A and B are shown apart, each in its own frame.
Chain A
Amino acid sequence: MDFDYLIIGNSSGGIGGAEAIRKYDKKGTLAIISDEPVHTYSRALIPYYLKGNITYDKLYYRPSNFYNKNNIQTFLGKKIIKLDVKSRAIILEDGESLNFKELLIASGGVPFVPPIKGLNQNNYFTFTSVDDANKIKDKIESGHIQKAVVLGGGLIGLLAAEALSSFNIEVSVVELAERVLIKVLDNISSKICEEILEENGIRVITGHTISEVINNPDDPDKIDKIILDNNEKLDCDLLIIAIGVRPRLDFLKDTEININRGIVVDNHMQTNIPGIYACGDCAEIYDFILDIKKLTPLWPTAYIGGMIAGFNMAGHNKEFTMGMNMNSMKFFGIPVMSGGLIEKPDDGNYEVLTRYEPENMIYKKIILKDNIVKGIISVNSIDRTGIIIGLMRNNIDVSSFKAHLMSDDFDLIYFPREIRNEIFTGRLL
């Protein structure tokens, strides 16, 4: 079958691409392929779903008539095993081949599972898809799960831990680094998060990892105990491995597509092969704060990257230059945000503003370089954080209103009038 546009991936990046293409080209033939046999849904919502905060239908990212309305053909539950760059085709597991003029690869990531003694295909769970969430749900509903261990103290691990604890399961999080959320928070803010978790009954074990999994002698798919690298033994009825997600690139093996840690793209989100684009968790995105290309596995980054790719695929020149590390998290209701730098680099002219009120669990830190904001962390005082992120994006000198930056009521009123005028007329940001 021939298509003008093919999109690999039915998630944030893929939908971003499809919606952008359809903004300019309503007629060109367009298909989305995914090996997940479900309508487009948000994997970032699976913690809410596992917990029972939302029902299954709320996972859907777009209304049920989305594909129809946008004239999109779908191949769901179909796995791609190969990309043939020369003949411009992708090959499905069932042998079918689909030809394209323009291709967007938004294949996302796969959870990384390290080799651990005693681990087998069936005795642990990962937590990155609705299928994973359903399996964990089934396991919890089917039996007596009293104790669970989560390997990995990053965002996904902690969200899994919080969800499990809502079932009255005793949860331990095991993190090899000296603190949780080490990639997205600084020392103080990650300690606050650890406190929140511990106060809610989750045990946080840092500086350690799992060295062995001991299975039930009668049932190798059932774990009895977890042994840590310090020989501590943890009782365990359910193990979740959440130490990270890696780009899913298996079907690109032996192609000429340039791959570093993820697919290498230019600012148009195009790979080294003309007409083949990539975005989202599988690609390396330009980070304007760090001035490098790097994996930036975030929902908004995937969507916007896909959208930029889609515009270019449909012939509208657009660049993505605003990628950055940013996170909005919530642990037991306490909101936590970070964007850009989390620590002051050793070199250069950096300034750090901090405000810490342990009794209110409030923490705020802003990192500046030559009066330009380069990073923010805010715990439990998150309203209007986007204004600060906007200052970062627009490289705005904050010297005239620096004194207000850290306060809870920081707002546009403190901006110099010229800048505010530009903002209100949409010429900035």
Chain B
Amino acid sequence: MKRIQINEDVCIGCRLCEVWCIVAHSKSKDIIKAFKQEKPRPIAMIRVQEDIPISFGAQCRHCPEPICVFSCISGALYIDENGIVLHNSKKCVGCWTCILVCPYGAIMRNEDEKTALKCDFCMEQGTPSCVEHCPNEGLTLVEVSENGF
């Protein structure tokens, strides 16, 4: 089972992970179109945190025992066959219980839709886009046991 490892020592805070997250979740999958034309512009589901000189990008950890899934009052959050924590925005009512319980602060609010938003591990394309486009290996894909890291 693969998970994203955060390597804060090598992160330079370039925010390409955020950029490529937006592109990966855009309709066009095109960087120019995604940023210039798509309305609403997709929201990055990874967040670069910065307190100079430290920085890192962090997204959902896809916990082996995801408390957000256990707590979700609508059944919108679920674990798929691969152990990835996914969110069905059609079922989400925006109660924000997931935000109350996620210890990583990894769940965002889509203010327009009034629904939660989170990293989907780029399930459709294989390697998560943030990892693929990180120039410094600040995010890497590593093999972990069933119980996590």
Contact = CB atoms under 8 A, between A and B. Distances in A.
Interface of A: 16, 42, 44-45, 48, 53-54, 58, 60-62, 299-300, 303-304, 307, 326-328, 330, 333, 335, 337, 339, 382-387, 389-390, 393-394, 411-414, 417, 420, 423-429
Contacts of A393: 103
B63 A426 contact: yes
B3 to A, nearest CB: 9
B100 A328 contact: yes
Contacts of B16: none
Interface in B20-63: 47, 49-51, 54-56, 58, 61, 63
A385 B93 contact: no
Which 4 interchain pairs have the tightest Cβ spacing? A390-B103, A384-B105, A300-B71, A413-B49
Chain B contact-residue range equals: 35 or more
Contact of A383 (B51, B56, B90, B105): B105
Given A330-B96, A411-B49, A425-B149, A44 B103 contact: no
Contacts of A412: 49, 58, 104-105
Contact of B96 (A60, A303, A337): A337
A386 B100 CA distance: 4
25 contacts: A44-B73, A45-B74, A45-B93, A58-B93, A300-B73, A300-B97, A300-B101, A303-B70, A303-B71, A304-B70, A330-B94, A383-B99, A384-B99, A386-B98, A390-B103, A393-B103, A411-B47, A413-B50, A413-B54, A417-B54, A424-B149, A425-B149, A426-B61, A426-B63, A426-B149
Contacts of A384: 99, 105
Contacts of B61: 424, 426
Contacts of B2: none
Q: Which among B93, B102, B148 has the greatest number of chain A C-beta atoms within 10 A?
A: B93
Contacts, number: 119
A337 B105 CA distance: 14
B75 A411 contact: no
B6 interface: yes
A414 B114 CA distance: 28
Contacts of B104: 386-387, 390, 412, 423, 429
Contacts of B58: 412, 424
Nearest to B68: A386
A280 to B, nearest CB: 13
Contact of B93 (A48, A62, A383): A48
B64 interface: yes
A61 B8 CA distance: 39
Contacts of A390: 103-104
Q: Which among A333, A384, A393, A394 has the greatest number of chain B C-beta atoms within 10 A?
A: A384
Given A426-B61, A426-B63, A426-B148, A387 B103 contact: yes
Given A384-B99, A385-B99, A386-B101, 12 more contacts: A45-B73, A45-B74, A300-B71, A383-B108, A386-B102, A387-B102, A387-B104, A387-B105, A389-B100, A424-B6, A424-B58, A428-B103
Interface in B102-147: 102-105, 107-109, 114
A422 B96 CA distance: 26
A61 to B, nearest CB: 4
Nearest to B50: A413
B119 to A, nearest CB: 14
B95 interface: yes
B47 to A, nearest CB: 8
A45 B92 CA distance: 10
Contacts of A411: 47, 49, 105
Contact of B100 (A53, A61, A62, A339): A339
B105 A386 contact: yes
B75 A42 contact: yes
Nearest to A318: B65
Contacts of A48: 93
Contacts of A426: 61, 63-64, 148-149
Contacts of A414: 51
Contacts of B96: 328, 330, 335, 337, 382
A330 B95 contact: yes
A326 B100 contact: yes
Contacts of B47: 411
Q: Which among A61, A333, A389, A426 has the greatest number of chain B C-beta atoms within 10 A?
A: A426
Contacts of B63: 426
A53 B75 contact: no
Nearest to B148: A426
Contacts of B6: 424
A387 B47 CA distance: 14
Contacts of B98: 386
Contacts of B148: 425-426
A233 B113 CA distance: 41
A48 B104 CA distance: 28
Q: Which among B54, B64, B103, B104 has the greatest number of chain A C-beta atoms within 10 A?
A: B103
